[in-house]
Amino acid sequence: MKIAIAQMPVTTKKDENLQTACRYIHEAATAGASLVILPEMFNCPYTSRYFRDFAEPEGGHSWQTISRQAAQEGVCVVAGSMPELSGERIYNTSWVFDREGKQIARHRKTHLFDIQVEGGQHFRESDTFAAGSDVTIFSVDGVTMGLCICFDFRFPELARLLALEGAQVIVVPAAFNMTTGPMHWELMFRQRAVDNQVFTIGAAPARDKKADYVSYGNSILCSPWGKVLTRAEGEPQLLLAELDLTQVQAVRQQLPLLKARREDVYALTKAGGRHCNQSSG
């Protein structure tokens, strides 16, 4: 499977961001990609003061734009994330569209980014967003994939649940910053790949040093063995890569970690709501 990771620039103009996203999807499809992944907050600056103004309901303008582009290009698209308006609540939400532009999955960010790093980053998503409660999987060309958003990926329990649901690939639209990114970004994507013996994909916005929130960028793809297969730096870039899905089974046979779990000693269980979609894509 050929995938494309769109490390696109994001501005304060929504339509400009949507045009950029569509251009990246077109370039990816032209290059033969089956799946295109956009970054977290692809249509909106990652800054609290913009979230409510940019928020749209499911089926809104941004949703329709990416749905049409997926259908026009005949590719599956993980539409990064954007502010979703649902009644009085706003969620940090990712939608997935199949080759016909049909929505096949939705993930609302489960763990909100509320941090205070001494001498570094301060941010409170909970001032604006409500938390989702989903363990989200979908299927593209018969390949089961898990989906989470940025801070979600810091919680190993969620990644393990995705693997136990059958995920061979975990897709993560994310926007790490210049404090957490250099320390944790590659480390985390490699470790989650090793722990769960899956491919991990991180799609970040390009770095804009003039923005209120500066994205680390460094969109990344890691193998089930923990090897970095491709990685961007800070600038806008479309990463293209082939996934050899036979590696998942091969690694799991060589190191049978999932089979060797001691469920008689410990167990990981799901609780509460769960949004789970599977489609042939």
User: Over the stretch 221-251, which tens digit does the pLDDT of each residue have?
Assistant: 999 999 999 999 999 999 999 999 999 999 9
Helix axis angle, 14-30 to 61-73, nearest 10°:
20
Marked catalytic residue, from 22, 44, 150, 222: 150
How would residue 275 be classed by pLDDT, with cut points 50, 70 and 90?
A: low
pLDDT in the model for residue 125: 76
Handedness of CA 75, 52, 108, 174 (dihedral sign): positive
Determine whether 150 is an active site residue.
yes
Marked catalytic residue, from 44, 73, 76, 109: 109
> Could you give the C-alpha distances from 103 to 59, 106, 145, 223, 235, in angstroms and in order?
10, 8, 15, 27, 30
pLDDT in the model for residue 36: 98
> What is the spatial distance between Cα 136 and Cα 270, in angstroms, rounded to a whole number?
12
Q: For residue 183, which amino acid is it?
A: M
Checking DSSP bridges between strand 136-140 and strand 143-147, what pairing results, if any? antiparallel
How would residue 280 be classed by pLDDT, with cut points 50, 70 and 90?
A: very low
Asked whether the predicted pLDDT for residue 3 surpasses 70, the reply is yes
Marked catalytic residue, from 22, 40, 148, 222: 40
pLDDT in the model for residue 128: 83
Q: How many residues does the chain have?
A: 281
- Please enumerate in sequence order all residues whose Cβ is within 8 A of that of 261, keeping only pairs 6 or more positions apart, or say none: none
pTM: 0.94
Asked whether the predicted pLDDT for residue 113 surpasses 80, the reply is no
Asked whether the predicted pLDDT for residue 106 surpasses 60, the reply is yes
How would residue 121 be classed by pLDDT, with cut points 50, 70 and 90?
A: low
